[in-house]
Amino acid sequence: MENSFLQKTLYRIIRGRLRVVLGDLVLYIYEPDSSIIEESYEIYDDAYSKAYFEEVPLKSELIEILIENDLWTPLDDREAEKVEKDIENKKIEAFKSFYDKKKLNSIKRTIRDMESQFLALKSKKIQLDHTSCEGTAEFSRNMWLISKLTQFQDGTPYDWNKYTISSVMEYYNSSSIQTATYRAIARFGVWRSMWNNGNNHSGIFDKPSKDYTSPQNALCSFASMYDNVYESPERPNEKVIEDDDCLDGWFLVQKRKAERDKKKKEAESLIKNPKIANSQEIFVMANNTDAAKSIYDMNDPLSRGTINRRNAQIDASEGQIKFTELQDVKQDMAMQGRQAAVSKIKGGR
């Protein structure tokens, strides 16, 4: 991103307003403070009540309409979860392939396609939300906010003679700050100087943090996120930090490593009992699918392979197989027999 764009957006966030140029007319749309936000929910409640008594459907009632018209099914949500997981795995692959630029670019294209697919799947369930009581109320609330927050350059409220509230709201929505922009600004030298020179990052916008606007809070959150990256003992190099996909992959690697370490500690706590500490295998009962997965994840890759081969052998026998007939168990028993024979021979010398 161009430095000029980052600086323009940064100062938009600092000033808490969006500059709108419509022909020869210049307006400012200010971010709402807490008192305006509080009042806006009275508008929401009034609009909701009106819509409800006019028998506008609730969001929950739209689900049936979506299903009946083949617009959405629960399978779409499950598919979205799968795609989201696939995106995570691709970002890990991007992180690990950072120095192979050709492969990295291919992975990035795949990630973008997956993100579009994920968005399309998630959008299915909310495509009629604007027709619900909640959607109608939220639209009324946003219209009211724009009407209250749009001003001339001299600070007087706009009179709405030339442009409608909906047209200005559309301009505001189309100018929303994207996540990638927040992240770029959070790494940007001009902002980092402001952030690091602040008094423990409090009051950086010349007001208490409780009065920060939504964009100001978002920027501070991303700045704190990068602080954690820079301070990490396993910090990646600067070029990885500047690449959102690769840094997301690094985050996921760290997260999964932490989860593995936690599960390892849980597994170790299970074998503190001296009666089972030296056991070759320990069986732990699970009372649901999630618990079973957690127990399975405690195993190392070699042990998981053994479990999978056992399950395949059990499935092939339709459950009609003894424990001692499992292939890995037979191999262990054979090895123990050979070791016992060798020990006996050595002992007889």
Which pLDDT tens digits describe the chain residue by residue (349 residues)?
Answer: 799 999 999 999 999 999 999 888 999 999 999 999 999 999 999 999 999 999 999 999 999 999 999 999 999 999 999 999 999 999 999 999 999 999 999 999 999 999 999 999 999 999 999 999 999 999 999 999 999 999 999 999 999 999 999 999 999 999 999 999 999 999 999 999 999 887 556 668 888 888 899 999 999 999 999 999 999 999 999 999 999 999 999 999 999 998 888 877 776 676 666 666 566 666 666 666 766 666 666 666 777 777 778 777 777 777 677 777 777 777 777 777 777 666 666 665 5
- Give the full edge-to-edge strand order of the sheet including 17-22: 17-22, 25-30, 150-152
**H/E run at residue 89:** helix 74-96
Cα-based angle 106, 111, 113 (whole degrees, multiple of 5): 95
CA atoms of 187 and 165, how far apart (whole Å): 35
pTM, full prediction: 0.79
Tell me the Cα Rg of the chain: 30
CA atoms of 329 and 281, how far apart (whole Å): 11
Q: Which tokens is 42 given? A: 């009275």
Task: Kindly list the distances between the CA atom of residue 322 and the CA atoms of 14, 184, 284, 314, in Å, as whole numbers in the listed order.
Answer: 70, 60, 19, 9
